[in-house]
Amino acid sequence: MRRRSVKVGARSAVPVPVIIPILLIIPILPIAVLADEPVGKRPYEMDWAGRSEDVRPPLVDFEDLDGWTVQTKDSVAAFVRSREQQLWGRHVGKLVYRGTGPQPVVTLRPPKPIRFAGGVDCVNLWAYGNNWAWQSDASTPRVRVSALLQPAKGPEQTVTLATVNFKEWHLLHARLRPEQIEAFQAGGALTGIQIAGGRNAQDRELFFDNLAVYREQLAPLTFEPRPQRNIALLPGQSPGTNTGPGKLPFPAREETILPDNLTGDFEASLEEADKSFIFTYRGRDGVLSYVYRPGTGQLGDIVARWGEGGREFRPLAGGGARLWRGQQAEGAEPDKVELLSCRREGQTVVTRWKLTTDNRTAEVACTLRLWQKSLVIDVICPGGEVGEVRFGRAEGLDNPRLVTLPYLTGDWNARPAVAVSGPADRPLFVMGVVDHCRSNASALFFLNRVAEGGATYNGGARYLARTDGRRNDCYERLFLTVSPRFEEVLPNVPNPPSPWMHVAGERVWRAHGAHNRQADYDLWKRVVRYGMTKIALTDHETGWRDCGESFTFRTRAAPGKGGDEGQVDYARKIRALGIRYGIYNNYTDFAPVNGHWHEDRVTRTGDGGWRTAWARCYNPKPARAVEFEARLAPIIQRKFQLDTAYCDVHTAVRPWDYVDYDARVPGAGTFAATFYAYGEIMLHQKATWNGPVYSEGNNHWYYCGLTDGNYGQDQSARLDNQPWLVDFDLRKLHPLCCNFGMGNLQMFDGGRLPHATPEQADARLDRFLAATLAFGHTGFLTLEGGMGNASRSYFLLQQVHARYARERAEDIRYADESGKLLDVSAAVAGGAYRRSQVVTRYTGGLTVTVNGHSTATWDTGRAVLPPNGWHVHDETHKLTAWSANVEDRRADYVDSPAYLYGDGRGRLVRLPRLVCDGPLIVLKRDDGKCEMIPVAPCRTMAAALEGRSASAVALDEAGKELGPAEVRFSRGFVHVMPLAGAFSYLLTPQPAPTSTATCDRLRVVPGETVKVAVGGRSADFRVPADAKIGQQAWHKAGDAWIDFEVVPLARVAFRWDGAIRVALVPSVDCEKATVELAGRTETIRPACVVTGTLEGHVVELGRTGHAVACSRFAPLVTGVRPVGAAFHGAEDLHGVRHDLGGIAFVAVTVVP
């Protein structure tokens, strides 16, 4: 077949038709344009669905490119007809391009403008892309694709279709702006396709097919009725598609988000006096009044006061309903306000006002009532005139400041905040929250600022236009709460608790995208071999797709991974490992290549456009998504037999992010329609899988309980370096579901925490795990960094969260600088919560203490916690767990009913029931035996088996016996000597030896002699002079073994407290020793420590930032460790000489 192509260089100024022989293209563009090019394959999903004809008749089908030209700026390009990719018909258009300057633009021009009829409002173009949204590829900059349209009159119009951030085929779509629609009423013509931003230095390719310019014919839509919402809506409010039959189980109470009142001994009353309405709360804890005197028609007419004669303030100054004005999102202050009526109805006050803005009027009714300490305000305004209902600001507070809560999210920059007033010992807290369960708004908005005019702690609700240009009737319920107790202003989450917390609570979670089924299975088989069996594992997108196909709205698995048969086999084998396994799905992303694709199933923006979602996807209508999930999930379950699943995205986005403004849909323009649809999806998911359903999190507080767990992430809170105020999460979300980790590591710190060195990577993981415990989450399996990190993330947390996941946090305290534990009200008012040192006591007897301070060490009395250290105390004595300092160095330890776990973090450490120098796992079996599993680099292995010894059989990774392993019983511990090729050791308890060796010394120095007793006799043991410090030295006396820990003769530690101080700490007892330190001589007596100030002798940290270290001058002195300063740089061995028992060492400066 004859091939025609077009190429134009970087300096072309006007489109000139050029027909160039094929071979002339090759020297300019290193891409072969050959007649025998391979013929691509259509997207297989479209073949499965029988989609052989495009639903939109093309204006350009790219089957014939005769006469097409390429116009370029700062670029070179060629455009040819091709069969390399296939979609509609036989040919597509292939563009090869590269940039040569800073602003590259390639314009594809037809031989003459291609006319289309008038009345159009949309443009479609199929494109095959070259990069992924989630991968940064500097060699392939993302280009912007636009259609160039010429109206009958006026200038050429540029219609931007999309930015290419996808691979494979995707349907680009744009709805014309109103002025463009008007311009093309008399028709127009396609004059070109423009590709801008291709700054790539090497050739890149794009493919195009079927470009259509058309008018949408929007036929009426019908939807299946969904179960009713489980609350009484405000009078006249539309329920959307939730018209029955049946009722959803959420919200779980009529009062929805009403905060808790910590005392039940109170009464609420309403009185009228002096043209005012006075709502009064009287309880054992005090008196609160809200006084409403109608005057302005806005919520600023309300005055609040705590205590008899307490300070009055206006909590809602500037708040109330505002009518919309033009195209702006914000509502406008009314030009005129007129009181229509105000009266008491029982225990409520009902007031009606007429608001005028731009000569438009609307009647707004406000109903006020007092529930506990909350003033509850209903705002109703039919007619679609309201643009906004806002809280305004609190005026008259004493020293106002704002505190935001992790996981009570809003948008990226602001969220509902608590306004704090008054001194630290007598604070008052104010909070206002929109009832999201009843709102009829399009979106919520958030404002956080403190200024002279007052404290703005929240935004409010906004009403935006639907596709028919109208706004919805206004129905809002606002909760305003004032209290001296911080806990009492926090909103509740009115969802039923998850029925799967007994499963989710004991499982460590991980998502793993399938790539090679056998390799994937081998990985999880190895993870389980290490004893990590309590895992919830879900697949990711890649289980459905091999490359750029759709990954949702599917029931057939990726063909390249074995299709359905491969998925069935994989699911069966993973579940056989004891892992709870589920597949990926979501109903928020909808790809145009999917077999269920239909344009009328896409969510519409207010201007009628298609709402984009994840790369190469649009957002499906929530009203359709809930229907499809009910159809497709049971098919998936029948095929693959799952017992959990991951339903991505739904809890990552705010409900208003995916509002459908299509006026054909009941509930259009309301985020409630999205919230109830997504909530129903989650309920159906867990019923279908007969197991927990998890989602992505970030905005999961709306859905906790409907989901059984979420990634425990709150990225905008930046909890890697911002305070750990745990109360909202622990008190409101923890009882409803099991959120895991802090998300994953990247979600937690966004890559902000340094981890370039092993020490930094360790600290990063430690902070992640400490935060997980502080917020009461379940574990996330951290495979990044190898099996050592995986075992740490699993074994440190699994037994801890299995205990607290279903328990209630009954007391939460924060430590101040002195270590005093404060309740949350005092901690927030005084700022102590910013230290992130948290103590949580759960029902069931577990107390979790976490040091989230980034630099301070915290001695809690039970443990010395380094930064990111933690300790668990169990009143039932069934669980011991901590990551704390052991002799000034961090170590990890867990003693639980299921396993022992310890890690000396690279040094030999003796723990209560373990001795190890790296990660060591001891799995407890029901038959009384146990399996000891060292994780590299662990080489020293010992466990205390309640005074018994044991025999040991070495096992390989497959679990096959390799033969017996040597066991040494010493000091009550069973020590296993490593056997080459062994993966683990099966220990069978045996009686303790009748003859054991003892010594009153555990730690020894090389070359010294100690007394060892066996059977009443003692003998000398001389420690070898070449014994390595930090390792074990063994001595055998008869049949008995005894171990020693080889230590340096002394340790030197430095401390910075305005000057450099050095401490000399003997490792063993000594009668006396003379030390010369900084020109001073001092005698050390047994167990004494000598300190000296090295001012003038060593560079001071405060002036230069240099660090101080101590270097071994003789082989027997080591273990120098900084206190309050980090070592770095190269050692300069000058300094002060010290002598201890004839052994010399020096303190030196470190030059960076």
Both 436 and 295 in a single domain? yes
Report angle CA 308, 312, 318 to the nearest 5 degrees.
150
Report angle CA 969, 974, 977 to the nearest 5 degrees.
90
* Higher per-residue pLDDT: 703 or 29: 703
Q: Specify whether the CB–CB gap between 349 and 368 falls below 8 A.
A: yes
d(CA 341, CA 329): 29
Count of CA atoms in the C-beta half-sphere (13 A) of 151: 18
Q: How much is the pLDDT for 1150?
A: 29
Both 1054 and 1038 in a single domain? no
Summarised one tens digit per residue, pLDDT across range 855-891 is: 999 999 999 999 999 999 999 999 999 999 998 899 9
Count of CA atoms in the C-beta half-sphere (13 A) of 352: 8
Q: Which range, of 472-486, 573-587, 994-1008, 1039-1053, averages the lowest pLDDT? A: 1039-1053
Question: What are 541's two structure tokens?
Answer: 């997108």
Of the three residues 992, 1016, 1033, the one that is the final residue of a domain is 992
Q: Specify whether the CB–CB gap between 807 and 738 falls below 8 A.
A: no
Summarised one tens digit per residue, pLDDT across range 718-757 is: 999 999 999 999 999 999 999 999 999 999 999 887 788 9
Query: How many CB atoms are located within 10 Å of the residue 696 CB?
Result: 23
Helix, strand, or coil (residue 970): strand
Buried b (16+ CB within 10 A) or exposed e, 721-737: eebbbbbbbbbbbbbbb
Query: Is 1014 part of a structural domain of the chain?
Result: yes
Terminal CA-CA length for the chain: 70
Query: How many CB atoms are located within 10 Å of the residue 765 CB?
Result: 23
H/E segment holding residue 975: strand 973-976
**In the beta sheet, which residues pair with residue 454?**
451
Question: What are 1035's two structure tokens?
Answer: 């001595």
Query: Is 782 part of a structural domain of the chain?
Result: no
Both 597 and 661 in a single domain? yes
Name the residue range of residue 412's domain. 266-489
Both 385 and 276 in a single domain? yes
Both 380 and 413 in a single domain? yes
Strand duo 188-196 + 858-859: pairing = unpaired
Of the three residues 710, 736, 755, the one that is the final residue of a domain is 710
d(CA 666, CA 123): 27
Q: How much is the pLDDT for 151?
A: 97
Q: How much is the pLDDT for 328?
A: 83
**In the beta sheet, which residues pair with residue 891?**
884
Q: What is the mean pLDDT of residues 60-68?
A: 98
Confidence grade of residue 523 (pLDDT, cut at 50, 70, 90): very high
Both 399 and 522 in a single domain? no
Summarised one tens digit per residue, pLDDT across range 768-780 is: 999 999 999 999 9
d(CA 1077, CA 1079): 5
- Chain mean position to CA 581: 21
Mean pLDDT, the chain, as a whole number?
A: 90
d(CA 1122, CA 402): 38
Summarised one tens digit per residue, pLDDT across range 270-296 is: 999 989 999 999 999 999 999 999 999
Q: Is the pLDDT of residue 1126 over 60?
A: no
Query: Is 112 part of a structural domain of the chain?
Result: yes
Q: Is the pLDDT of residue 1146 over 70?
A: no
Q: How much is the pLDDT for 1113?
A: 25
Give the percent of the chain with pLDDT over 70.
88
Both 966 and 1072 in a single domain? no
Q: Specify whether the CB–CB gap between 791 and 785 falls below 8 A.
A: no
Both 479 and 605 in a single domain? no
Confidence grade of residue 162 (pLDDT, cut at 50, 70, 90): very high
CATH (domain of 548): 3.20.20.80
Q: How much is the pLDDT for 1?
A: 42
Buried b (16+ CB within 10 A) or exposed e, 998-1030: ebeeeebbbeeebebbbeeeeeebebeeebebb
Phi, psi of 15, deg, nearest 5 = -70, 125
Of the three residues 710, 735, 751, the one that is the final residue of a domain is 710
Q: Specify whether the CB–CB gap between 559 and 549 falls below 8 A.
A: no
d(CA 643, CA 708): 13
Both 553 and 452 in a single domain? no
Both 351 and 324 in a single domain? yes
Query: Is 793 part of a structural domain of the chain?
Result: no
Please report, for residues 57, 60, 94, 650, 1152, the alpha-carbon distance to residue 212 in angstroms, rounded to integers and kept in the order given: 6, 7, 18, 32, 65
Number of domains in the chain: 6
Q: What is the mean pLDDT of residues 510-522?
A: 96
Summarised one tens digit per residue, pLDDT across range 400-446 is: 999 999 999 999 999 999 999 999 999 999 999 999 999 999 999 99
Both 167 and 272 in a single domain? no
**Nearest 10 degrees: CA dihedral of 922, 928, 929, 933?**
-10
Question: What are 162's two structure tokens?
Answer: 């999309």
Q: Specify whether the CB–CB gap between 832 and 815 falls below 8 A.
A: yes
Both 1042 and 1057 in a single domain? no
Q: Which residues neighbour 794 within 8 Å (Cβ) at sequence distance 6 or greater?
A: 508, 532, 535, 779, 781
d(CA 479, CA 451): 23
Q: How much is the pLDDT for 308?
A: 86
Confidence grade of residue 327 (pLDDT, cut at 50, 70, 90): confident
Q: How much is the pLDDT for 1061?
A: 61
Q: How much is the pLDDT for 1057?
A: 61
**Nearest 10 degrees: CA dihedral of 1064, 1070, 1071, 1077?**
-20
Q: How much is the pLDDT for 878?
A: 97
